[in-house]
Structure formats: C-alpha cells, structure tokens
Structure 1
Amino acid sequence: MNENAPEGVAVDDARSREILGLGWGGVAHFADLLAQEGELRGLIGPRELPKLWTRHVLNSAAVAQFLPETGSLADVGSGAGLPGVVLALMRPDLEVHLVEPMQRRVEWLREVGEELDLDNVTVHQVRAEELHGRLLVDAVTARAVAALDRLAQFCMPLVAPGGRLLAQKGQRAEEEVAKADRVLHKLGVVEVTVHAVDMLGDGDVTRVVEARKR
C-alpha cells in the first residue's frame, strides 16, 4: 500500500452524490483503492493524485447520461478502470465488458472487480480487434485511447445495430469528428453528436462524441 497516498480521496458533497447516484459508495471505495495502489502499479502518474476525484473519477461519469436504458456495454482500453469501473458501479443493471490487453492492468481490474463485488463485469485480456465477430454490445465507451478515426475502426465493429460509441474527448473533438467522417460513414455510423458536459458546473467541459450506428 502507498503510505503517501491521500486518504479519503472521494469528495462527499451533494453534487458528487447527485452525479454518482446509487454508485456513490462503490465509486468512493474505488477511488481510494486507486489512490493507494494506482501510482505504485503504473496505472496513474503522481501528478494525477491531487485531481484524481474530479478530473478522473467523476469525469468518467460524463458518459453515463448517454448510456442505454438496458443492455450491455464494452469499455475499450479500460486501463485503471476509467470509465468502465465507475460506469459499472453506477449502472449495475448493465452487462459491462472491460477490454484491456495489458496483463498488469487486467490483474488490477480483476482485483477491483472482486473487491467491489462487481458481478455485472467481465474482464477481457485482449485488444478490441480480437473481439470483432465475437462480441456485440449496445454501447462502447473509450476514454483517452486514440484519435477518433482510429478508435472507430476497432470500436464500431463491437457496436450492435442501433447502438452507439461514446468517446470522451478534449477540445479538438469537433476536428476529430470532421477528420473521421469518411471512416465513420464506412463503419455504418448514421449520426454523430458532440455533447459538451460540464460535470461540476465550473466551466470545465468534457466533450462526449456520440456516434450512432444504423
């Protein structure tokens, strides 16, 4: 355990509880685990610890409002579990697949799943491309994985007809969408929307690219 990690990383305020809903307790526990072990295990950098709760954990909930009412979700490039673990805790009714090729990250995700009793989660130690033709879900999420044109190529084949890709992006989201237009069309995308989400009402906007499949 990292003795230098801050204790009680979660901010227990009305806004955090409103965002996370019934997932609050589990997400707070997850945040503490990540603060204690994340740097030692190469999951997060030391500079990320002071902003772990707002910039990473709460930020992972930005896509929650765009998830399907029922069904399944695949989080591609889950890494430390952002956003996949947070979303699985918020939406225990969804079947969640965490897709991550790196062994040490997979070990972490499996340990977290056991610690948090996430019986709606399956961890796959593969690249997303290896699941093409084997897994179809109602939504795919991805956070800080790749540029949209590349991301779409290995995520959209996992999206069932009528489903969507939800990619968390930075300030250049619109540019990425424009650049990926031809690729998205070829992959069966019929509508793309860039949502500006201000999680805390402080002007710090997260952009969620929603690409809907025909």
Structure 2
Amino acid sequence: MNDALQSQLARGCEALGVGSDDATQAALLGYLELLIKWNRAYNLTAVREPAQMITRHLLDSLAIAPHLQGQRLIDVGTGGGMPGVPMAVLFPQREFHLLDSNGKKTRFLFQVKTALGLDNMTVHQARVESFHSEVPFDAVLSRAFASLEDMVAGCRHLLAEGGHFLAMKGAFPEQELAAVAGDCHLRAVHELQVPGLDEQRHLVDLTLR
C-alpha cells in the first residue's frame, strides 16, 4: 500500500479522533488491499479507485465509531463488510456479526476474517428474515441496506430488549423517520463529518417502543 494512501488514512483517522494507532491502521489498509484484489473478480463495490475507497468506505464507516451502542452487534446487508469490518478492527473487545445473503461477499468476508485474525467477527450467509440468533443483539447496524421502515420490519426479531437500530444514511431521512414513528422511539440523528467527503451523512439511532 503506497505512502499517499497510508497518509490519507492517517489524516482521516486523526480528524475523526479514532483508530490512530499503527496496528489499527495497518489492519484497515490490509482490509483495503483485500477489497481491491477481490473487487476485480467479485464486484464487491462500484468504487474502484483506492483513494475513494478510503474516503467512501473506511472513513465513512469509522465516522460512526463514537456513536456505537452495545457489546454484541450485527451488520445487516454488510456487502463488502462496511461498516462491520472497520468496526471489528477498531473495537476488538466487542462482538460483531456480519450478515449478507450473497455467497461471493460472505466468502470474501471469511477471507478478511482469516487474513486479519478478527476473532471477534462472525460471518453469516442468509437472508435477514430467515436468520435467527439464540442470543439477541444490542444493536443492528445497516449502511444503505434498506429504508428505515424495512429495516425495522425485517430486523426487529434480532434486537435485544432495549437494543438500538443504527442506520447509516445520506441526507436527513425525514420521510423515513415519519414512517417508523409509531413503532420506534428516535434516540438521535447524528450528523457525521467524513474527512474528504463533501456530502451529507447521518446516523439514525432508534429503539423499539
């Protein structure tokens, strides 16, 4: 991984106030290398330029770190592993489950888990409506997975009592929030600043009523 990309990640982590140690950044760059390599054959992401991957995938995921809730979390519709992989790297003491129905993507994630030694990360291939866990989750994460209404309807069986839905969104999702107002209590909408990205980003924090 070249020096320019290392510097870009280091500056971004410093701006966010997270992941500034060498071991964390080395693991994140290792994940990026695997993503670039596998993306050529598996089409894991439409973003193909490495510097854009750092901004739109790594830093975009890391921006939610200060607002993460709970000890046991599941990233639903994780795709190429965002935000689940960066969060598992950043918080080795927490337990992360990454769920996706696409076999190519889950095979990639198994490779990431093995290569980076992420013992706190578990990969599941299943559709969310057919996936069940004996132990419910403190938080359900999603990044561009579904509308808030679909997320709440499809994932509520995974949530522990008092658990949080944490949905990563672009623009403030006013209409989506109105659609779940009867089912959910809005804890917060955090406006996120992603270094190098001149676009709106928000994290919605909901609990079931």
Cα RMSD between the aligned structures? 2.3
Supply the distance in 1 between the matched residues of 2:108 and 2:51 (Cα, whole angstroms): 21
- TM-score, normalised on structure 2? 0.86
Q: Percent identity?
A: 32
Alignment match, 1:206: 201
Alignment match, 2:64: 63
* 1:165 and 2:131 are equivalent in the alignment: no
Comparing 11-20 and 97-106, the one that deviates more: 11-20
| CA deviation profile, 1:149-190 (whole Å, cap 9, x unmatched) | 1111112221111210111011142221112323xx1xxx33
Show the 5 A alignment for 1:76-115. 76-115=76-115
Aligned pair in 2 of structure 1 residues 128, 135: CA closer, same or farther (>3 Å)?
Answer: farther
* 1:194 and 2:193 are equivalent in the alignment: no
**Conserved in 1, the CA contact under 8 Å of 2:172 and 2:202?**
no
Show the 5 A alignment for 1:1-214. 9-10=5-6, 11-17=8-14, 18-22=17-21, 23-45=24-46, 47=48, 49-68=50-69, 71-132=71-132, 134-182=134-182, 185=183, 189-200=184-195, 204-213=199-208
**Conserved in 2, the CA contact under 8 Å of 1:71 and 1:95?**
yes
Post-superposition shift, 1:32? Answer: 1.9
Supply the distance in 1 between the matched residues of 2:58 and 2:47 (Cα, whole angstroms): 15
**Conserved in 2, the CA contact under 8 Å of 1:39 and 1:46?**
no
Supply the distance in 2 between the matched residues of 1:176 and 1:50 (Cα, whole angstroms): 31
Q: Runs of 5+ in structure 1 lacking a partner?
A: 1-5
Supply the distance in 2 between the matched residues of 1:135 and 1:49 (Cα, whole angstroms): 37
Any idea what SS the aligned residue of 2:129 has?
helix
Supply the distance in 2 between the matched residues of 1:13 and 1:103 (Cα, whole angstroms): 32
Aligned pair in 2 of structure 1 residues 192, 177: CA closer, same or farther (>3 Å)?
Answer: farther
**Conserved in 1, the CA contact under 8 Å of 2:27 and 2:89?**
yes
- TM-score, normalised on structure 1? 0.84
Letter in 2 for 1:126: A
Letter in 1 for 2:39: G
- 4+ residue stretches of structure 1 with deviation over 6 A? none
Supply the distance in 2 between the matched residues of 1:198 and 1:34 (Cα, whole angstroms): 24
Supply the distance in 2 between the matched residues of 1:48 and 1:196 (Cα, whole angstroms): 26
Supply the distance in 1 between the matched residues of 2:187 and 2:196 (Cα, whole angstroms): 24
How many residue pairs were aligned? 203
Post-superposition shift, 1:74? Answer: 0.3
Letter in 1 for 2:174: E
Aligned pair in 2 of structure 1 residues 180, 48: CA closer, same or farther (>3 Å)?
Answer: farther
**Conserved in 2, the CA contact under 8 Å of 1:63 and 1:166?**
no
Aligned pair in 2 of structure 1 residues 15, 7: CA closer, same or farther (>3 Å)?
Answer: closer
Letter in 1 for 2:111: E
